Amino acid sequence: MCSYSTLDFIEMYKNTQPLFDAPHGNLATFYMDVPASFDAMMELLNFQFHGIHEEVSAFVNNLYSLVEKAIPKKNCMEIVSPPNSVAVKYTADQTISRTPVIVLSNNEVFPDDEAFNHRMWRYKWRACPPLKKYDKKIHPMALVLLFDTFVMEETYVGMRQLDQ
C-alpha cells in the first residue's frame, strides 16, 4: 500500500526522471512541458467554472483533500461531462482496492442520495472546445503547480514555501 503524501511524491520526483505514460520514455513527444500543461489546466478550469477564481480554488482544494484522504469518508470525486472524441485505451478489469477514486464519466454513475453525497464531490462539466488545439497530454508534474497556486492547507503551503 502506498502511504506517500503529495509532498512525499513531490520530494521523490525532484530526484528522479519519471516516465509516466510516455511511450519509449520520450516525454517531449507525448507531454507538453510543465508550464504549458499548467496553462492548459487553467484554461480548462476557468472554462468549467466560468472564470470564477473561488470555484476553481474550491475544486483544486477538494481534489487535494481527496488525494490526501483529508476528509474522513469522503473518498470519491465524480466529474460528469459530455463525451469527447479522444481515443481511450482499454485495459483488463482490475480490482480497485484503495481510495481515492476519481470517476470521469459521460453519465452519472452514483445515486443522487444522501449516503453518496456525503462521501463524494460531484461536478458537472461542459465540453471544452478550446482544448482541441492541444496535440499533447498535460504533463503530470503540472499538478504540483496547480496545487502550489490554489491549495490552502497549512502544512502543504508551509513545506512548499520552504522548497521555493
Strand, coil or helix: what is 121? Answer: strand
- As given in the structure block, the three cell numbers for residue 13 are 520526483
Per-residue pLDDT, 57: 98
Per-residue pLDDT, 26: 83
Per-residue pLDDT, 93: 53
Per-residue pLDDT, 32: 95
Per-residue pLDDT, 88: 45
Walking along the chain (164 residues) 10 residues at a time, the average pLDDT comes out as 85 88 83 96 97 98 93 89 59 51 89 86 94 94 96 93 77
Per-residue pLDDT, 97: 42
What does the alpha-carbon distance between residue 29 and residue 10 come to, in Å, rounded to a whole number?
23
Would you kindly state where each structural domain of the chain is located, as residue ranges?
A: 30-84+95-155
Whole-model pTM?
0.79
